[in-house]
Each structure stands twice: as structure tokens, then as C-alpha cells.
């Protein structure tokens, strides 16, 4: 029985297959396809290394190629998609993340998994996603689980990839602004916007904000100086609309009007302060994961390059 490592699914009955039922924690977009599990290969079916590709696998590859943007004019597009999957399976087996060798190993589990889910639903158990899965959505979710399990093996344990602190820092320093969100404070000036008779913001003030006429927006009011920290942004102190506008705006921009606690307000973004070291501390682990993911991509590319493909 193929082993697909993934997160556990909360259900009340064990799977009859021994498959980690977490393969089906949640559905990806379902695709209606007429592919079954374990189907035989046509006499002239292609081979990837020592595996003769089955008709079901070729049909699944064609569907995945179409979803990836293939226009249907390339007869080898489906096989090309399968080569990527076979390469992932090779790398996953090499690090002990899975023992799947081909798509049919996954497709062969679908009926049993769906039967188990139907039984759970009938018994009033807890399920996430649809009661049953179609072949393409189940397969796509399984691929994601296998990739994540492989990535986890490369991040720690005997198969771990050595990513140095210097490599992490170099990636951060190459574009520190990419990692600025969690370490940027914003200096703002806040001013109330008069309401209109209908309760909305005053139209003239709204137009002045739109065209950047600070004199009309502020009038004789100096406004209120406000500093918004990364922690406050994360805690949703401001409305989602105000937060998005502030993060995206250039310095000096007028923003609003926004509804806050029963009043309408506008902001002028006076400047921002980026704490480089705080950003690095916050994102170092994520950057390390990005680098390990790139290493996984390289391993998959190498495995694909080493394949021996025989056409029909």
C-alpha cells in the first residue's frame, strides 16, 4: 500500500486502506474527469523509466496539463506533466517521505477513501471538504501532501539540507524590502472628515482626498499625529481598507475616507520606518524554508533530467 505522508484528518473511523487519511483534509478545485484507478496501459503506451504509463495516468496528465494552461495542441503535454510527478515521487522516496511510485498508486486509493468518507458522513462524523472526491482533485491534493512531506524531510532529520545562516542573510539582504511588512511602522496624520446628510463622508472632502488637496482636507486643523506599529497592523487596529491603503501608499499620500468608530477619517502618510534587524529576525525561518524549497525544486529537476522516456 503506498504511503503518503500528510496531516491527519479528523474523522471518527479509521481508514480501511492504511492510507494516512490526511490526504483528503480539504479539496482542491474539483475537476470532472473520467479517469479510474489502476487501469491498464494501451499496447503503445509510453514509458517513464521502467514504468509503462497507464491509460488512466495519461488521461490524468492531460487534464493537469489543460489546467496548467496547455491549449490541447501538444499531444505530449499530458506526459510532460506526468514526468514532473514521477520526478517528485523519486525524490520523495529517496528521503523516506513516501513510497508512491506512480499516479496509479494514488488513484487506486480513491474508491476506498471515498467509501470511508461516505461512511463517516452517514454516521455524523466530522469531514472537511466534499463527502467524496473526484480523481483529479484527490490526486492534486495528494501531490501537495507528498511535496510538503518531502520538504519537511529536507528541513530536518537525516535528509536535511544544510542551509547556513549566511545564505539566509544573503537572501534577505538581496531584497530586504520584500520582507518589510512585519517590521515597518507608519507615521500618519489623522483628521476627521465631516459627514454628509445621508451619513456618508462629505463629497467635497472625499474629492479633495482623491486629488491630494491637503489644504482642503485639513483646513485649519493640524490633525492628530498617529504612529501605527507592525503589531497594531497585525492586530487589525485599523480597518482592513485603511491598512491596505497605508501599506501600499507612497509617503505624503492622502488616504480615505475611512469609517472608524462611527466617524469618517482621512490619513496623510508622513513616512515609514523600517527596522531591518526586526524584519530579519521575523522572517529568517521563512527565508530558510524558501531556500530549502528551491533545493527541492532542483532535486526534482535533476530527477526529471535523469528519466528515460520511451514514446509509443
Q: What is the CATH number of the domain that holds 246?
A: 3.10.50
- 280 part of a folded domain: no
User: Helix (H, G, I), strand (E, B), or coil: what is residue 104?
Assistant: helix
Residue 28 has pLDDT above 80, yes or no: no
Same domain, 140 and 208: no
| 34 and 115 part of one domain | yes
Q: Based on the domain organization, do 135 and 250 belong to the same domain?
A: no
DSSP letter, residue 54 = P
- Domain residue limits at 263: 178-274
Residue 239 within any structural domain of the chain:
yes
The 10s digit of each residue's pLDDT in 197-230 is 999 999 999 999 999 999 999 988 899 999 999 8
99 and 25 in one domain?
Answer: yes
Rounded average pLDDT over 17-43: 38
Residues paired with residue 192 on neighbouring β-strands, in sequence order = 265
Task: Please tell me the distance from the alpha carbon of residue 72 to that of residue 223, in angstroms, as a whole number.
Answer: 60
Query: Are 26 and 154 in the same domain?
Result: yes
Of 28-32, 50-54, 229-233, the least confident:
28-32
When pLDDT is cut at 50, 70 and 90, the band that residue 20 belongs to is very low
Instruction: Determine the pLDDT at residue 205.
Output: 93
Tell me the pLDDT band of 41, cut-offs 50, 70 and 90. low
Please check whether residues 35 and 149 belong to one and the same domain: yes
Q: What is the pLDDT of residue 13?
A: 33
Find, among 270, 231, 230, 225, the residue nearest to 251 by Cα: 270
Q: Please state whether the peptide bond connecting residue 65 to the residue before it is cis, i.e. omega within 30 degrees of 0.
A: no
116 and 44 share a domain?
A: yes
Dist CA 305 CA 150 (whole Å): 19
Question: Does residue 15 lie within any of the structural domains?
Answer: no
Kindly state whether residues 100 and 231 are assigned to the same domain: no
The per-residue pLDDT for range 242-298, each reduced to its tens digit, is 999 999 999 999 999 999 888 999 999 999 999 999 999 999 999 999 999 999 999
What is the tens place of the pLDDT at every residue in 133-164? 999 999 999 999 999 999 999 999 888 999 99
Q: Say which residue, 270 or 179, is predicted with more confidence.
A: 270
Q: Are strands 51-52 and 309-310 parallel, antiparallel or unpaired?
A: unpaired
DSSP for 256-308 reads EEEEETTEEEEEEEEEEEE-HHHHHHHHHHHHHHHHHHHHHHHHHHHHHHT--
In a 10 Å sphere around its CB, with 0-12 CB exposed, 13-18 middle and 19+ buried, how is residue 73 labelled? exposed
Q: Are residues 94 and 41 in the same domain?
A: yes
Whole-number pLDDT of residue 33: 38
Q: How many domains does the chain have?
A: 2
Q: What is the pLDDT of residue 141?
A: 93
- What DSSP character marks residue 251? T
Residue 193 lies in a domain: yes
Residue 7 located in a structural domain: no
**Of 4, 182, 201, 216, nearest to 105 (Cα)?**
4
- Same-domain pairing of 154 and 50: yes
Identify whether residues 304 and 248 lie together within a single domain: no
What is the structure's pLDDT at 16?
32
pLDDT score at 189: 96
pLDDT, average across residues 226-238:
89
Predicted local distance difference test score (pLDDT) of residue 39: 56
Which DSSP category does 181 fall into?
G
Chain segment 61-105, per-residue pLDDT in tens: 999 898 888 887 888 899 999 999 999 999 999 999 999 999 999
Residues 127 and 221 in one domain: no
pTM over 0.75: no
Structural domain contains residue 283: no
Residue 11 resides in a domain:
no
Q: How confident is the model at residue 43 (pLDDT cuts 50, 70, 90)?
A: low
Find all residues with CB under 8 Å of 140, minimum gap 6, and list them: 28, 64
The answer as to whether 14 is a domain residue is no
Amino acid at each position: 500500500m503506498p504511503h503518503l505522508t500528510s496531516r491527519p484528518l479528523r474523522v471518527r473511523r479509521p481508514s480501511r486502506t492504511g492510507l494516512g487519511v490526511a490526504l483528503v483534509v480539504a479539496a482542491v478545485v474539483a475537476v470532472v474527469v473520467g479517469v479510474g484507478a489502476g487501469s491498464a496501459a494501451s499496447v503503445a503506451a509510453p514509458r517513464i523509466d521502467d514504468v509503462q504509463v497507464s491509460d488512466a495516468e495519461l488521461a490524468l496528465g492531460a487534464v493537469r496539463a489543460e489546467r496548467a494552461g496547455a491549449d490541447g495542441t501538444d499531444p505530449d503535454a499530458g506526459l510532460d506533466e506526468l514526468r514532473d510527478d514521477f520526478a517528485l515521487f523519486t525524490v520523495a522516496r529517496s528521503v523516506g517521505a513516501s513510497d508512491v511510485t506512480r499516479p496509479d498508486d494514488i488513484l487506486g486509493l480513491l474508491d476506498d477513501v471515498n467509501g470511508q468518507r461516505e461512511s463517516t458522513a452517514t454516521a455524523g462524523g466530522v469531514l472537511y471538504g466534499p463527502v467524496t472526491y473526484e480523481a483529479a482533485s484527490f490526486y492534486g491534493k495528494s501531490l501537495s501532501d507528498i511535496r510538503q512531506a518531502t520538504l519537511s524531510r529536507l528541513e530536518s532529520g537525516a535528509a536535511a539540507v544544510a542551509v547556513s545562516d549566511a545564505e539566509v542573510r544573503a537572501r534577505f539582504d538581496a531584497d530586504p524590502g520584500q520582507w518589510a511588512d512585519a517590521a515597518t511602522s507608519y507615521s500618519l496624520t489623522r483628521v476627521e472628515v465631516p459627514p454628509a446628510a445621508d451619513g456618508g463622508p462629505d463629497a467635497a472632502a472625499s474629492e479633495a482626498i482623491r486629488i491630494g488637496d491637503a489644504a482642503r482636507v485639513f483646513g485649519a486643523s493640524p490633525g492628530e499625529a498617529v504612529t501605527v506599529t507592525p503589531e497594531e497592523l497585525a492586530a487589525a487596529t485599523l480597518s482592513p481598507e485603511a491598512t491596505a491603503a497605508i501599506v501600499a501608499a507612497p509617503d505624503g499620500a492622502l488616504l480615505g475616507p475611512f469609517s472608524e468608530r462611527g466617524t469618517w477619517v482621512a490619513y496623510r502618510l508622513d513616512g515609514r520606518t523600517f527596522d531591518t534587524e526586526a524584519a530579519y529576525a521575523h522572517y529568517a525561518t521563512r527565508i530558510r524554508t524558501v531556500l530549502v524549497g528551491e533545493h527541492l525544486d532542483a532535486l526534482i529537476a535533476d530527477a526529471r533530467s535523469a528519466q528515460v522516456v520511451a514514446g509509443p
